[in-house]
Amino acid sequence: MKNIYALLAIGIAALNLRPLMTSVAPLLGTIQEELGMSGATASLLTTIPVLCMGLFAPLAAKIGDRLGMERTIWASLLLIAAMTGLRGLGSSVWLLILTAIVGGIGISLAGPLLSAFIKKMFPHRPAVISIYSASMTVGAALASSLSVPVYEQSGEHLNVALASWAVLGVVAAVFWAGFARRGGTSTSGLRARSVLPIRNRKAIQLTLFFGLMSGMFYSITAWIAPMAVDFGYTSDQAATFLTLFTLIQIPVSLTAPSLVAKLGNPRAVLVGCALFKLTGIGMLLLGLPMLAAVIALGIGAGGLFPLALMLPIAEANTPEEASGWSAMTQGGGYMLGAMGPLTIGALHDASGHFNGALTVMLTAIVAMIALQWKMTQGRSNAEKPSSRTGVEKA
């Protein structure tokens, strides 16, 4: 019963880690029109939370050590809910940016500590990360698919459509209140402390991989709908493509970690998912039907994200180590990934089309495949975790 409750807690918390950003994506054109924002400025609504997730993720381990893992997750969920709800006060550029910053901080604290929580509750089952990643994807899908209908039903009020997702945060905070009351003053009730493995070669490789993966993911999430409109599709079709891209990730994210556990080495799954992304971007560059391209991109993203979360956990022996590894890979990775949507917006503003941006994305995927091949050489990440936290020097 305890494990079932823990799985529910993980899933409910993860639902809240993406709506702050993905609720903006299908309304990006409307936001630009109503608030007079350029493409580069509008992309900040996605870029800023991701950048904050990178900048503040390393603090998650330290705050979790001081306040307790569960209490910090609970407080982070409250912060996300508060910032999402604050968007209901009105529609302005500065309010959206402020809530993106503070909400991004909340997400940055919850993300690594949820990975540590999984290591604590399921120490020998890193594939449980599939619940985390699938729930996160469900939250993203709900926000991306329902924000436009909520906007229309509310009488075309942006503030209502963007603030409505605070409901998920309130539910999660109530659910986690019990964990917060029982949480100790450190992640395991001992004197152990989380350490960032900044001199570990594998940790550096995983961080670079996370950065390339997240940069691609958030670029597609932020710009797939505007891209579809630019290619001649209607706004409704563009919103459908975004929803499809997100929904496809759910079954893939549930199966990819288990497949890696069966194979014993993540290389085949990692490279296979990256090739799906390469195919999808190539199809967009060639002007092929967008539906097939979106399906390929969704399969690739659905597999890569849970593995980027799982591999650092598999390298750790304790919740503290998992917190440190996750904080480093997510912190550095999100800082790199935050540049993706901003770069796409700037390239589009400069050229008036997406060909240059797609070419950059294609190059990034090729680099990611090369990195995947290198970082999976030798002992499998999916096997028994090692005790290396800072010994293997870069």
Q: Which two tokens stand for residue 323?
A: 């917190």
Local structure of residue 265 (DSSP, 8 states): -
Q: Does the pLDDT of residue 16 top 90, yes or no?
A: yes
Q: Which two tokens stand for residue 203?
A: 């940790």
Q: Does the pLDDT of residue 38 top 80, yes or no?
A: no
Average pLDDT, the chain: 86
Tell which wins on pLDDT, 386 or 41. Answer: 41
| Dist CA 161 CA 31 (whole Å) | 11
Q: Determine the pLDDT at residue 188.
A: 42
Q: Does the pLDDT of residue 380 top 60, yes or no?
A: no
394: amino acid identity, one letter: A
**Percent of the chain scoring above 90 in pLDDT:** 41
| 212-219: average pLDDT | 91
**What tens digit of pLDDT does each residue of 335-358 get?**
888 888 888 888 888 888 899 999
**Percent of the chain scoring above 70 in pLDDT:** 92
Q: Does the pLDDT of residue 360 top 90, yes or no?
A: yes
| 159-163: average pLDDT | 92
Contacts of 122 (CB under 8 A, 6+ apart): 3, 6, 128
Q: How confident is the model at residue 21 (pLDDT cuts 50, 70, 90)?
A: confident
| Dist CA 136 CA 110 (whole Å) | 12
Tell which wins on pLDDT, 226 or 275. Answer: 275
Q: Which two tokens stand for residue 63?
A: 């705050």
Q: Does the pLDDT of residue 386 top 70, yes or no?
A: no
